[in-house]
């Protein structure tokens, strides 16, 4: 006997089906995109000229000033050991299987038998510390400044601030880093210009080591906070300005609410949602943004690891860094897609 549902029950059931289908579609698209990213990374690095074994042997020959005896036999042996002689599709299937079953990128060709993911794990904390902290500070400062500048858009101070933020926003991060090094490192001598901590220290959970890291991170973080904070500030300014003429703001002002209440409870809250979504995606790109700054300041993060791996065509390490970066971006994008309907009741999942 069929159960007859009331209109409210039928509507609730339809919403649940719509939400389930929405989640399944997003997860399916996410998995498909992750597979495409892994495949693209594998193909791009495999079509690069040269291979790690030949390049490493050539470098040894240059250092010793003579050709290595039995070089071709050495190359052939190591190529067979690492599977580089297999057809490309066999290498791809093996690589994909290892990632799916154990998130294993394979051994590093240069630091064999160390696995690529072990090298990435050693360098990852520095990149996460540098980029995530800088991005969060830039987002908080930029959002606050952008809100005030957008609200006071017709004042001279707001105009001057907007011009300054625009100038900072278009400045490349590496150029800002070099300028800060010259000014605060060499000219004034206030801050260290390179390395993540004092040379005489060893990594340890001690206040001496932690304080040294914090002191050495000031310039690299400042270079990113200034540029990215300006970008977040200009974005928030535009969002605030775009909603100032909305009916609900006009109505709130007509009710006699104070400007502070209108700004905080109406303008700021409604402009904040796109900023939150943007922050989530930006944090997903943690492994992409700080590479150049790491290299400039000599910080042993993924940027340094990738450059060294690129120099000797260490495929597995390069692929691991790039794939981890892509997965970070895609995962945070998925989190945003699944969270927005919960964060904002105005967003409804399509039925």
CA 282 to CA 229: how far, in whole Å?
Answer: 12
Residue 178 belongs to domain with CATH number = 1.10.3720.10
| pLDDT tops 80 at residue 248 | no
Model confidence band, residue 351 (pLDDT cutoffs 50, 70, 90): very low
CA 8 to CA 17: how far, in whole Å?
Answer: 14
User: Above pLDDT 90, what percent of the chain?
Assistant: 0
Of residues 307 and 142, the one with the higher pLDDT is 142
Let me know if residue 277 belongs to a domain: yes
Supply the mean pLDDT for the chain: 77
Let me know if residue 238 belongs to a domain: yes
Model confidence band, residue 111 (pLDDT cutoffs 50, 70, 90): confident
Let me know if residue 188 belongs to a domain: yes
Residue-level pLDDT at 334: 81
| pLDDT tops 80 at residue 123 | yes
Tally of domains in the chain: 1
Model confidence band, residue 64 (pLDDT cutoffs 50, 70, 90): low
Model confidence band, residue 22 (pLDDT cutoffs 50, 70, 90): confident
Of residues 157 and 284, the one with the higher pLDDT is 157
CB 303 within 8 A of CB 295: yes
Residue-level pLDDT at 286: 52
Let me know if residue 331 belongs to a domain: no
What are the backbone angles phi and psi of residue 348, rounded to the nearest 5°? -120, 140
99 burial type by CB count under 10 A (0-12 exposed, 13-18 middle, 19+ buried): buried
Averaged pLDDT, 125-154: 85
CB 120 within 8 A of CB 320: yes
SS3 call for 107: strand
SS3 call for 115: strand
Residue-level pLDDT at 108: 81
Residue-level pLDDT at 347: 55
Name the residue range of residue 216's domain: 126-305
pLDDT in tens, 306-343: 888 877 777 788 888 888 888 877 887 787 777 766 65
Averaged pLDDT, 1-24: 65
| pLDDT tops 50 at residue 214 | yes
24 burial type by CB count under 10 A (0-12 exposed, 13-18 middle, 19+ buried): exposed
63 burial type by CB count under 10 A (0-12 exposed, 13-18 middle, 19+ buried): exposed
CA 144 to CA 138: how far, in whole Å?
Answer: 10
Model confidence band, residue 350 (pLDDT cutoffs 50, 70, 90): very low
Let me know if residue 133 belongs to a domain: yes
Of residues 294 and 85, the one with the higher pLDDT is 294
Least confident range from 2-6, 125-129, 144-148, 150-154: namely 2-6
At residue 166's C-alpha, the angle toward residues 160 and 170, to 5°, is 155
Residue-level pLDDT at 133: 86
Residue-level pLDDT at 15: 63
Residue-level pLDDT at 4: 59
Let me know if residue 319 belongs to a domain: no
Residue-level pLDDT at 10: 63
pTM: 0.73
Let me know if residue 241 belongs to a domain: yes
pLDDT in tens, 163-213: 888 888 888 888 888 888 898 888 888 888 877 777 777 777 788 888 888
User: Above pLDDT 70, what percent of the chain?
Assistant: 70
Averaged pLDDT, 72-82: 66
Let me know if residue 203 belongs to a domain: yes
- Hey, which of 7-21, 74-88, 136-150, 332-346 has the most confident mean pLDDT? 136-150
CB 219 within 8 A of CB 205: no
């Amino acid at each position: 006997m069929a159960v007859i549902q009331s209109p409210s029950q039928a509507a609730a059931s339809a919403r649940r089906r719509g939400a389930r289908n929405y989640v399944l579609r997003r997860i399916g698209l996410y998995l498909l995109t992750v597979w495409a990213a892994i495949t693209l990374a594998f193909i791009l690095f495999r079509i690069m000229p040269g291979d790690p074994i030949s390049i490493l042997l050539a470098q040894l020959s240059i250092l010793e000033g003579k050709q290595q005896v039995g070089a071709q036999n050495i190359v052939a042996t190591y190529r067979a050991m690492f599977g580089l002689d297999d057809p490309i599709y066999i290498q791809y299937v093996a690589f994909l299987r290892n990632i799916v079953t154990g998130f294993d990128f394979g051994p590093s060709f240069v630091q064999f038998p160390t696995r690529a993911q072990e090298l990435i794990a050693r360098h990852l904390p520095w990149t996460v510390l540098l980029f995530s902290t800088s991005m969060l500070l830039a987002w908080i400062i930029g959002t606050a400044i952008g809100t005030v500048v957008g609200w006071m858009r017709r004042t001279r101070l707001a105009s001057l601030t907007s011009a300054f933020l625009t100038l900072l926003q278009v400045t490349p991060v590496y150029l800002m880093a070099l300028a800060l090094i010259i000014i605060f490192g060499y000219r004034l001598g206030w801050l260290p210009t390179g390395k993540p901590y004092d040379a005489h220290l060893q990594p340890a959970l001690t206040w001496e080591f932690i304080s040294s890291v914090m002191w050495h991170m000031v310039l690299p973080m400042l270079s990113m906070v200034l540029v990215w904070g300006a970008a977040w500030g200009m974005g928030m300014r535009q969002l605030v300005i775009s909603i100032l003429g909305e009916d609900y703001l006009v109505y709130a002002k007509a009710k006699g609410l104070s400007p502070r209440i209108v700004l905080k409870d109406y303008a700021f809250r409604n402009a904040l949602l796109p900023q939150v979504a943007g922050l989530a995606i930006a944090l997903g790109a943690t492994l992409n943004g700080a590479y150049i700054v790491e290299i400039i300041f000599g910080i042993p993060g993924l940027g340094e690891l990738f450059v060294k791996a690129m120099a000797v065509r260490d495929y597995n390490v390069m692929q691991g860094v790039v794939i981890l970066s892509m997965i970070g971006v895609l995962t945070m994008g998925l989190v945003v897609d699944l969270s927005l309907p919960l964060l904002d009741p105005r967003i409804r999942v399509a039925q």
